[in-house]
Amino acid sequence: MIRRILVCAFLFSVFSIITSVEISARDPELITKNSEGKEFWVCFMKNFREGQTGTQNRPDKLKLQLFITSSNDAKVRVEVEDIGFNQLVEVKANTVVNVVLPERVQLRALETPERLAVHITSDTAIAVYGLNSRFQTTDTYMGLPVSVLGTAYRAVGYTKLAADLLSAISVIAIEDSTEIEITPNATTSTGRRLGVPFKVRLRRGEVYSINARFESIGPCDLTGSLITANKKIAVFSGHQCAYVPPKVDACNHLVEQLPPISAWGMHYYLGMLKERSRYTYRVIGSEDGTRVFEDAKLVAVLRKGEFFENLNVNRHIQVTADKPVLVAQYAQGFKNGDSVGDPMMILVSPTQQFLSEYRFATPINGDWHHYVNVVAPTNSIENLRLNGRRIDSSEFKVLGESRYSIAQISIPFGTHVIQSLPTTRVTAGTDPSGAQGLGGAGGSDLYAVPFGLYSYGFGFKSDAYDAYGNMAGQSFFELKKLVDTLPPVAEGRKILDDFLVVLRDDRTTDRGMKSVKVLYSASLAAQVPKVEEGTPQVAVRIRPSSQGTPGRIVLNATDIAGNESEFTVCYVFDSRSERYAFIMSEGRDVECASEGAWMVGAFVTAAHTFHETNFKSTGGVIGQSVFTPGQGFAGGGGVLLGRRISPTFIATARLSLNVLGGTMISADTVQRGVFDTLSQQTIPYQEGTTLSVSAPYLNLGFAAEWFPIRFFYLLGGLQGSMALGSSVEVVRTIVQPSNFTFEDGSRSQKISPESLSSLSGFNAAAFAGIGFTYPVTFKMSVFLEGQFTQPLGNVITDGEWTNNVVGINLGARYRW
């Protein structure tokens, strides 16, 4: 079904690269090339049908256009030899020039050479994009310069729609005497058989096109067809107008210029298209036994030229393979339920060919929503800048268990620059792509981490029923020249009470994982899934056999290239958080020991003092009998400094200040009788001497805390106390009867002395107790202790007087 409204939808995404991928030996042949250049050969394949009429008898006019841009002023010549087209255009730096080509430039002949190749030359590096538009069917492509072309390609198209709407391939010779061999994956329109190679000889500037033949049975799809030549060639492929997926209206022209097989990659990231609920993708293999993974799950094993297709994907995914593949992403037809846009095709750039800067434009003005999908290593997001401004990190979502994240960013009409700032340091011979986790690379050179960019848009209102999409560029070094010498890396994170170790082999030269083994295990158990060779990552779940019991496990990871890594996971007590934690380290000879932590704290004390006495007089205070034991409140506070020696043992030093209160009485030994006027009786009358103390003491103690179970501990230690004062209150008081007073109306009268000269200057004591502590943050915890203090000497120097203290300490500790 053809769309009702035509909008000339085009995209040109122009990029200026300021990057150089660090390759191990700095081989000049491996220096990055990109899609800017000084010479291009492009063509315009057949788009839909001739002589159609749009709505309201609108003529179906074909529009063929080039869009040219450069970072510098450029003089560009555009030529089409067969029709005598020759135009010189000047392109100002950072602007876009549109070149309109005659309709006769469109290819029409099948399996017959045509001299309709468009030759573009410039005096400086430029970027070129093509727009092929007909009413209700439009697509764009990114032109590739001669400098990045190759001699071997595989086509990507789509399933048949009608007898004249089929998969197609066009090949351009850029030199005379170019011999081309084509092995079609479907019978061609002239009857050339599937899988049988045939040869064609072309002159410079000639284009040779083939279509699949329409057959009632089968997809009639040229996807995967092999095109090779003895000299560099430019290859285009696509479809005149395709339904994506099949049987979902409506159709659209699909076309892309193909990268050579040498520039294919093994690691791809596909994101949801903004406004769309799902998409379709294809993976084309170049070698037998190519194992394809979707989010680390094996989904296909391809022979050379075969493809895997997922018709409906509704999430961001990671697509990887153990051998180079080509990946194409498709927007779906308007009637897939979204009622937005129509099919378009994007050749996805592999991570191995990412760049660190792109300049692109969205020149289609009107009722359009423009977007870019940005794919970047998660740890490099903060270094991305769009038009000089930091991209909000909240826009990014992590792609499954991978080390990459993706953002769908809305952008306005116009030109834009997005770049990665050069901040990461790498060393030649290591992977510079921002790998995270243990086993990654380090080094000494500043480096801008490469990322991927895809530009697309959907029309609405008057521009509804249309869409565009392209990659924004990539590098073109030959992947096969790079050797996988990097061992797998690992990342770990806690999930509830377990620990998840993700072992990865997905960097620039990596070919994927081969095996994961447990070499040693004590008090830890590992769930190791079946490892499909070539998978980019393997997630191993580790759990303790018993909570609160230290454990250790050693994992061995091997990749397809034979590189090995070993990692040790320890389950030990974390002194900072005061919880058991997992710690992962590279290597197998790792000692699993809890690291000690220092801590400081403060506390307040509320206690009760029990005075045990056996003296009649002391320091000028004289009683007629032995002073009776007394009691009183003790309060204060202090600070502590501690060190956790082991998971179950903490040593602390405590400095505190407290006041020991209490009252003791020495009753007179002589009693006399007095007449009580109320009772009219003679009753006994007795006085006594009362001694009240409130002496401040400075205490320095050393304690040990032992944790038999988590959060609860027993403590014990010794302390020395120094009296900071000797003030006392000595009064005469009436012991009995209770209702008698002195002549002045009081029951007590203060007497001398006001200080106790016999107080000992230093006292020693032992203390013990039980405590509870609980971490409230990673480094902060609160504690509550019940403590009993037993003196080891007398309070006074001339008699027997001891203080037993029962109290509570409430405080907080900070650990580092």
Residue 480's SS3 state is helix
Q: Can you give 120-133 as a three-state secondary structure string? A: EEEEEEEEEEEEEE
Closest by CA position to 502, among listed 494, 593, 510: 494
Backbone φ/ψ region at 28: left (φ over 0), alpha (ψ -120 to 50), beta: alpha
Query: Could you identify the residue written with the tokens 């997001």?
Result: 381
Phi first, then psi, for residue 354 (nearest 5°) are -65, 155
pLDDT at residue 611 above 70? yes
Q: Per residue in 498-539, pLDDT tens?
A: 999 999 998 878 889 999 999 999 999 999 999 999 999 999
Predicted local distance difference test score (pLDDT) of residue 445: 62
Quickly state the pLDDT bin for 3 (edges 50, 70, 90).
very low
Predicted local distance difference test score (pLDDT) of residue 431: 57
Alpha carbon distance 710, 547 (integer Å) = 10
CB atoms within 10 A of CB 95: 14
Predicted local distance difference test score (pLDDT) of residue 283: 98
- Residues 671-687, mean pLDDT to the nearest whole number: 80
Q: CA-based angle 68:7:53, to the nearest 5?
A: 120
Backbone φ/ψ region at 382: left (φ over 0), alpha (ψ -120 to 50), beta: alpha
Closest by CA position to 260, among listed 39, 114, 46, 479: 479
Alpha carbon distance 266, 512 (integer Å) = 9
- Mean pLDDT lowest among 384-398, 399-413, 728-742: 728-742
Across all residues in the chain, what is the average pLDDT? 87
The two structure tokens encoding residue 771: 């405590």
Q: Per residue in 210-219, pLDDT tens?
A: 999 999 999 9
Closest by CA position to 268, among listed 244, 304, 295, 303: 295
**645: buried, middle or exposed (CB in 10 Å: 19+, 13-18, 0-12)?**
middle
Contacts of 389 by beta carbon, 8 Å cutoff, 6+ apart: none
State the first-to-last Cα distance of the chain, in angstroms, to the nearest integer.
69
Q: Per residue in 105-121, pLDDT tens?
A: 999 999 999 999 999 99
Cβ atoms of 315 and 272 within 8 Å: the answer is: yes
Residue bearing the bigger pLDDT, 695 or 177? 177
Quickly state the pLDDT bin for 364 (edges 50, 70, 90).
low
Cβ atoms of 748 and 665 within 8 Å: the answer is: no
Predicted local distance difference test score (pLDDT) of residue 363: 58
Quickly state the pLDDT bin for 15 (edges 50, 70, 90).
very low
**400: buried, middle or exposed (CB in 10 Å: 19+, 13-18, 0-12)?**
middle
C-alpha distance from residue 52 to each of 6, 136, 386 (Å): 12, 10, 42
Residue 105's SS3 state is helix
Class of 483-586 in CATH:
mainly beta
Cβ atoms of 715 and 785 within 8 Å: the answer is: yes
Alpha carbon distance 610, 805 (integer Å) = 6
Quickly state the pLDDT bin for 85 (edges 50, 70, 90).
very high
- Residues 796-800, mean pLDDT to the nearest whole number: 89
Quickly state the pLDDT bin for 292 (edges 50, 70, 90).
very high
Question: pTM for this structure?
Answer: 0.74
The two structure tokens encoding residue 80: 């089409």
Quickly state the pLDDT bin for 481 (edges 50, 70, 90).
low
Closest by CA position to 426, among listed 450, 448, 445: 445
Closest by CA position to 140, among listed 208, 231, 44: 44
Residue 524's SS3 state is strand
Residue 153's SS3 state is strand
**53: buried, middle or exposed (CB in 10 Å: 19+, 13-18, 0-12)?**
exposed
Alpha carbon distance 122, 264 (integer Å) = 27
Residue bearing the bigger pLDDT, 415 or 658? 658
Quickly state the pLDDT bin for 400 (edges 50, 70, 90).
confident
Alpha carbon distance 613, 633 (integer Å) = 17
Return the amino acid letter for 567: F
CB atoms within 10 A of CB 766: 14
Contacts of 583 by beta carbon, 8 Å cutoff, 6+ apart: 569, 570, 572, 574, 592
pLDDT at residue 17 above 60? no
Residue 212's SS3 state is strand
pLDDT at residue 748 above 60? yes
Cβ atoms of 169 and 221 within 8 Å: the answer is: no
Q: Per residue in 223-257, pLDDT tens?
A: 999 999 999 999 999 999 999 999 998 899 999 99
- Residues 789-814, mean pLDDT to the nearest whole number: 92
Fold of 598-815: Porin (2.40.160)
Residue 457's SS3 state is strand
Q: Per residue in 34-83, pLDDT tens?
A: 888 999 999 999 999 876 544 444 446 888 999 888 888 999 999 999 99
β strands within 394-440, DSSP E:
396-398, 404-411, 414-420, 424-426
Predicted local distance difference test score (pLDDT) of residue 5: 33
Predicted local distance difference test score (pLDDT) of residue 330: 96
The two structure tokens encoding residue 710: 């988590």
pLDDT at residue 435 above 70? no
What is residue 520's DSSP assignment?
E
* Domain positions in the chain: 28-480, 483-586, 598-815
Quickly state the pLDDT bin for 95 (edges 50, 70, 90).
confident
Alpha carbon distance 768, 551 (integer Å) = 32
